[in-house]
Structure 1
Amino acid sequence: MTNLSGKVALVTGGASGIGYSIVQSLLKANIKVAVADLNSEKLRDMEEAHKGNLIGCVTNVTKEADIENLVNKTVETFGGLDYAFNVAGASKAGAIIDQSVEDWDFTVDLCLKGVFLSVKHEARYMKDHGGGAIVNIASLNAHVPMFYGAAYSSAKAGVEMLTKNAALELAQNNIRVNAILPGLVATPLTSGLTNVEAINEAYMERIPMRRAGDPDEMAGPALFLVSDDASYVNGASLIVDGAWAVSGYPDLSKFM
């Protein structure tokens, strides 16, 4: 990829999983990074390990004031903002007929509203400072429904459309916005499923590459999308799933 050295990025949900891998890849590329997460202890450890190159910001991405503070702190510390990676997400699963409004709101607010607020304030800064590039982490579930995952799948479908709409609106401001749609990735959030042998086997039956992705395998595509090598890629959805999308979703209902 074109040299990214000297740029400034922020990553939401950057203390674990895909976000953490993106942070590590950014640091290796000599990019200054602001990491947003709720895990204050992990953020302190990351700051200590990368003094001068990384700051941690305790951030609830569903709170607009927190996102405003994140962008302001990034700019104040590192002098700008070139790239943003909106990764924060989680899910409270449940069948549609049983799911509580509270669990639905938790999932949709975190996965969709959090991305909306992030893009809003990242783009506000970039618009007035020459542009930039934003990558939103959606999911294969934006295209493929999942048993007991209506809230998550709906929110991630929303992230994909939000990405396309943002690309449409912001292209005139030299801001590119793209999405990555991961399949099954080995992270703490998926371990509750993949640690159950029968469920893991059901996934493997549907994934032609017969394994979960590694978080680092999401970081490479994410950095590509903000690089100049992707300078004409805008409003795109990059599926990174080991060919899962061509095979279909496993029937998890028998395990619930």
Structure 2
Amino acid sequence: MTNFQGKVAIVTGGASGIGSAITHRLLEAGVKVAVADLNEAKLKEMEDANAGNLIGVVANVTKEADIEALVKKTVEAFGSLDFAFNVAGASKAGAITEQSEEDWDFTVDLCLKSVFLSVKHEAKYMKEHGGGAIVNIASLNAHVPMFYGAAYSSAKAGVEMLTKNAALELAQHQIRVNAILPGLISTPLTSDLTKVEAINDAYMDRIPMRRAGEADEMAGPALFLVSEDASYVNGASLLVDGAWAVSGYPDLSKFM
């Protein structure tokens, strides 16, 4: 893929899971990285381990002022912004008839509003400085609903459409915007489900490759999408799910 030496990237939600895997792959490729997260201790640990090549920025990605500050600090530290990976997300599950407004807002704000704010301010800089490439992490659930996941699935569907709309608007400014739609990935956020044997078995029944993906298996596709090898890929949704989308979502209602 591209020679990434000298490039600069932002990764939101970069202190754990898929965001951490992308961050480490970027560093290995010679990219300087600004990592946004709420985990201040982990950010400090990452800074210390990668002095001069990584800055940690404590940020609430649902707050516009924090995103503006993130872009500003990135450029101040490293002189530019070439790539952005908007990964931060989480979910508070609930049946539609029972879910609180607060839990709905938490999920939609973190999974969708944060991506809007991030793309807005990342693209503002890129638009004025020759372009760039943005990757948003959506989900298989952008296409496939799940029990007790209306907020999450709706938000991730929104991320996919936001990605397409951003690609449409920003292509004229040499900014490419694409999405990755992960399936079941082994991260701290999914462990509460998959550690229950019956639930894990229900997932495996649906995933033709019969395993969860690893976070690092999302990093390669993410870097591909910002590389010169993907120079004509724009507004795309890349499923990275072990062929899960062709089989459907497991019925988890019996476990709730």
TM-score bin, normalised by smaller chain: over 0.9
Deviation per residue, 1:163-210 (Å, 9 max, x gap): 000000000000000000000000000001000000000000000000
Question: Which residue matches 2:85?
Answer: 85
Deviation at 1:30, TM superposition (A): 0.4
Deviation at 1:5, TM superposition (A): 1.2
Deviation at 1:159, TM superposition (A): 0.1
Distance in structure 2 (CA, Å) of the matches to 1:195 and 1:38:
25
Question: Which residue matches 2:62?
Answer: 62
Secondary structure of 1:47's counterpart equals: helix
Question: Which residue matches 2:148?
Answer: 148
Question: Which residue matches 1:214?
Answer: 214
Q: State the superposition RMSD in angstroms.
A: 0.3
- Give the partner amino acid of 1:65: A
The 5 Å alignment of 1:197-208 reads 197-208=197-208
The 5 Å alignment of 1:1-256 reads 1-256=1-256
Distance in structure 1 (CA, Å) of the matches to 2:111 and 2:105:
10
Distance in structure 2 (CA, Å) of the matches to 1:176 and 1:30:
21
- Give the partner amino acid of 1:195: K
- Structure 1 stretches lacking a partner, 5+ long: none
Deviation at 1:42, TM superposition (A): 0.1
Distance in structure 2 (CA, Å) of the matches to 1:24 and 1:190:
21
Distance in structure 1 (CA, Å) of the matches to 2:136 and 2:120:
12
Distance in structure 1 (CA, Å) of the matches to 2:6 and 2:243:
35
Deviation at 1:4, TM superposition (A): 1.1
- Give the partner amino acid of 1:31: V
Secondary structure of 2:106's counterpart equals: helix
Distance in structure 1 (CA, Å) of the matches to 2:241 and 2:5:
28
Distance in structure 1 (CA, Å) of the matches to 2:154 and 2:208:
25
- Alignment TM-score, normalising by the size of structure 1: 1.00
Deviation at 1:2, TM superposition (A): 1.9
Q: 4+ runs of 1 displaced by more than 4 Å?
A: none
Secondary structure of 1:57's counterpart equals: strand
- Give the partner amino acid of 1:247: S
- Alignment TM-score, normalising by the size of structure 2: 1.00
Distance in structure 1 (CA, Å) of the matches to 2:5 and 2:17:
23
Deviation at 1:212, TM superposition (A): 0.1
Deviation at 1:87, TM superposition (A): 0.1
- Structure 2 stretches lacking a partner, 5+ long: none
Deviation per residue, 1:221-251 (Å, 9 max, x gap): 0000000000000000000000000000000
Deviation at 1:26, TM superposition (A): 0.1
Matched-pair identity in %: 83
Distance in structure 1 (CA, Å) of the matches to 2:98 and 2:110:
20
Secondary structure of 2:94's counterpart equals: coil
Secondary structure of 1:2's counterpart equals: coil
Secondary structure of 2:185's counterpart equals: coil
- Give the partner amino acid of 1:229: D
